[in-house]
A and B are shown apart, each in its own frame.
Chain A
Amino acid sequence: MTKESNRIHRLLSVQSHVVHGYVGNSAATFPLQYRGWDVDALNTVQFSNHPGYGTFKGTRSSADDLKEIYQGLNEIGTSYDAVLTGYIPGDEGLKAVGEICKDLVRNDHHVKWILDPVLGDNGKIYVSEGNIEMYKQLLQSGYVSLVTPNQLELEVLTGVQVKDLKSLEEAITKFHELYDTIENLVVTSVQFDDDKTHLYSAGSTKINEATITHKTFHFKVPTINASFSGSGDLFSGLLTSAFFKYYDRFEGSLTNSTPIENLPLVQALNEVLTIVEKVLLLTFEYQVELYKQRGEPLPDFVKINDLKLVQSRDFFLQDLGKFEPKSFN
């Protein structure tokens, strides 16, 4: 399928905006547009840059500001295929965004809500207790289609500590018990203590047969010796479009005997992992070049502030992934 023949999908993306760099809406919008999506970007903040720089300036939208703009969109009658929510600052903001998204789905059941439950990363939680509770309620509300926690977020949402494949599978099972209306789950990245050279990305799709089951799977991808701000937001943005692409392509119905490599979510995740790896490697290459120019040795571990998103644009048209999906048993 060529990109020209794709129907234009419409997304409301509710995330932060940074003037410089690529996190939040600034990470999600361009790749989605390049893949042929109309993206309505509802910005929850306008900051000069992400806080990882150590300093930043800017303003936050209040809960009332967000609701006001949503009302404005309703007044002109916009419609969407999906709504994507990422990091939302503060309890009031999250409450407002939760109401906006519930309202959207309630008024149009075709709208898929892709929720990235941004709670923390690398063992550190950076939202309030109240915020975590609110996320749990949203996940139980029945309005969310796809959730994309990282390892820590999965642990916080399920109470299961993830340290190997077995406990990862337990956490996924627990997730579906607790949040039984969620149809699709993607655990974006998981690392085990005994294997620092690989990351795992896992997921599960609900199969609605006489008895409800879940097909779970995982991918194993090599790690890069660096951290990249915004990679999670790029990931959830790309996954939103890939999710639609492979569900649109899928013919027939999902059953328990559908091979995992044919599951739309598996194909979507595979494509996203493949693109993200390419973006990160190119970004890393630019960083290596920068150190070379400065005549400095490359440190063992590099913290990279800005993805080379624009320079990666051709990768966004990737079709199909290169990794091999595995089932848990």
Chain B
Amino acid sequence: MPLEPAKSILSIQSHVVHGYVGNKAATFPLQCQGWDVDVLNTVNFSNHTGYGSVRGTKASSDDIQAIYDGLKTINCKYDALLTGYIPGDQALEAIGEIGRDLKQSNPDSIWLLDPVMGDEGQLYVSETVIPAYKKILIKGGVDVITPNQFEAELLVGYKIESKDTLRKALKELHNKYDVKNVAITSFKLEEGSNILAVASSKHKGIITSSLFEIPLIESYFTGVGDLFSSLLIDRIFRYTRDIKDQYYLETAVNQVLTIMAQVLKTTTEAAEKALGQAPKSKMGAASIMKECELKLIECRDIYEHTEQKFKAFAL
């Protein structure tokens, strides 16, 4: 039997001892798909902040830089880089440098940056983080971004409320920031309308944007975005090795949404069973929050699935 080719990814995110967010959400699904994941933890917390109480420590930007230097010293090479929630603009700057350095040593590698800033109009990082993300994007090297609607709005600087503004915003993200792939994870054009996911790619100068209607259940759970980006970077890595058509991102996002729907279904059912009712909020008593952790271990058989259960619409 031929040896499975090794593929390696550096994932720079937070670590929680209990539960599944950040690196804890991203690592296992990637490993299940044959990735050697080098896990660089930006924080070391007991649990995610939705529990109301949390204890632990943050790595300084110097710590992060030193560890990256350590990895370079032993000649680590990467096919991909995944960066998620980064605490503070100093650490963010360090990660920007790491990303550019990594891309320089392997231009074929893929960098997915999840610009974690907030959700539903609420900023949960300091204001200074917004220009820090813009700076990273302007300097180049990022291949994929996965903002939610609010984060996409922060990056372009205006509200995205219609298909026209969405088109304009995507064009700006592709052209001004030179990002080839944009996946917006949850999106609403007007009150009461369906939740959408957006897959938009720029390949050989052509922008192809697709929309998916997705069910609204994910807002109860934490770590959903982190799981999404880890699954997406694997699919993009696979499909950009051998791009057959301009719809590779649409295919990738559709597969990832299909897996996510299954993970969320399993998680919702388990939470309802344990709590006697559907979970209602992202924040709450520890006894409730514990039941709302993504059921990532239970879902271990599905990360390799390639079904596409969602219907794509052209924007």
Q: List the 7 closest pairs (A to B, CB-CB), nearest first.
A: A72-B46, A48-B70, A72-B55, A57-B70, A76-B286, A57-B66, A75-B53
A17 touches B63 (CB 8 A): no
B286 in complex: contacting residue of A75, A310, A313, CB < 8 Å: A75
| Chain A min CB distance to B61 (Å) | 13
B3 close to chain A: CB less than 8 A: yes
B38 in complex: contacting residue of A19, A56, A59, CB < 8 Å: A19
B74 touches A73 (CB 8 A): no
Which residue of A has the minimal Cβ distance to B34? A310
B297 touches A20 (CB 8 A): no
Return chain A residues, CB-CB under 8 Å to B41: 17, 43, 46
**A190 to B290 Cα, complex, angstroms:** 43
**Contact mask for chain A residues 57-83; partner B; CB cutoff 8 A; 1 contact, 0 none:** 111010001001111110111100000
B18 touches A58 (CB 8 A): no
B70 in complex: contacting residue of A34, A58, A286, A289, CB < 8 Å: A58
**A30 to B28 Cα, complex, angstroms:** 7
A311 in complex: contacting residue of B3, B38, B39, B71, CB < 8 Å: B3
**Given A30-B28, A33-B297, A20-B18 contact (CB < 8 Å):** no
Return chain B residues, CB-CB under 8 Å to A46: 41, 44, 59, 63, 67
Return chain B residues, CB-CB under 8 Å to A47: 67, 70
A49 touches B286 (CB 8 A): no
Q: Give the interface centre of B37, B69, B70 by most chain A CB atoms within 10 Å.
A: B70
Which residue of A has the minimal Cβ distance to B36? A310
Which residue of A has the minimal Cβ distance to B48? A76
**A70 to B17 Cα, complex, angstroms:** 9
**Given A46-B67, A49-B74, A310-B34, A73-B290 contact (CB < 8 Å):** no
A55 touches B74 (CB 8 A): yes
A91 close to chain B: CB less than 8 A: no
- Inter-chain contact total with CB atoms closer than 8 Å: 143
- Chain A at the B interface: SS class: mixed
| Chain A min CB distance to B272 (Å) | 17
Return chain B residues, CB-CB under 8 Å to A310: 6, 31, 34-37
**Given A34-B300, A75-B53, A311-B34 contact (CB < 8 Å):** yes
Which residue of A has the minimal Cβ distance to B24? A41
* Extra contacts besides A19-B10, A49-B70 (13): CB < 8 Å: A30-B31, A41-B24, A43-B44, A58-B70, A65-B44, A69-B55, A69-B56, A72-B17, A76-B47, A76-B286, A78-B18, A310-B34, A313-B31
Give B contacts to A, CB under 8 Å: 3-4, 6, 10, 15, 17-18, 24, 27-28, 31-32, 34-41, 44-47, 51, 53-57, 59, 63, 66-71, 73-74, 76, 286-287, 289-290, 297-298, 300-301
B67 touches A40 (CB 8 A): no
Q: Give the interface centre of B24, B290, B300 by most chain A CB atoms within 10 Å.
A: B300
A55 in complex: contacting residue of B17, B51, B73, CB < 8 Å: B73
A26 close to chain B: CB less than 8 A: yes
Return chain A residues, CB-CB under 8 Å to B70: 19, 47-49, 55-58
Give A contacts to B, CB under 8 Å: 4, 8, 12, 17, 19-20, 26, 30, 33-34, 36-38, 40-43, 46-49, 53, 55-59, 61, 65, 68-73, 75-78, 285-286, 289, 308, 310-311, 313
Return chain A residues, CB-CB under 8 Å to B298: 8, 36
- Chain B at the A interface: SS class: mixed
**A171 to B248 Cα, complex, angstroms:** 62
Which residue of B has the minimal Cβ distance to A78? B18
Which residue of A has the minimal Cβ distance to B47? A76
**A75 to B56 Cα, complex, angstroms:** 13
Q: Give the interface centre of A26, A75, A289 by most chain B CB atoms within 10 Å.
A: A75
| Chain A min CB distance to B67 (Å) | 5
| Chain B min CB distance to A298 (Å) | 16
| Chain A min CB distance to B35 (Å) | 7
Return chain A residues, CB-CB under 8 Å to B27: 30
Instruction: Return 8 A-B CB contacts under 8 Å, by A number.
Output: A4-B301, A20-B38, A33-B300, A43-B41, A61-B44, A76-B289, A310-B36, A311-B3
Return chain A residues, CB-CB under 8 Å to B34: 310-311, 313
Return chain A residues, CB-CB under 8 Å to B15: 17, 41, 43
A41 touches B300 (CB 8 A): no
Return chain A residues, CB-CB under 8 Å to B67: 19, 46-48, 57-58
B54 touches A72 (CB 8 A): yes
A289 touches B53 (CB 8 A): no
| Chain B min CB distance to A8 (Å) | 6
A8 in complex: contacting residue of B57, B73, B297, CB < 8 Å: B297
Which residue of B has the minimal Cβ distance to A39? B297
**A92 to B54 Cα, complex, angstroms:** 23
Return chain A residues, CB-CB under 8 Å to B56: 65, 68-69, 72
B45 touches A72 (CB 8 A): yes
A68 touches B55 (CB 8 A): yes
| Chain B min CB distance to A201 (Å) | 27
Return chain A residues, CB-CB under 8 Å to B289: 76
Which residue of B has the minimal Cβ distance to A50? B74
Return chain B residues, CB-CB under 8 Å to A73: 17-18, 46-47
Return chain B residues, CB-CB under 8 Å to A76: 18, 46-47, 51, 53, 286, 289-290
B286 touches A77 (CB 8 A): yes
**Given A19-B39, A33-B297, A75-B53, A42-B17 contact (CB < 8 Å):** yes
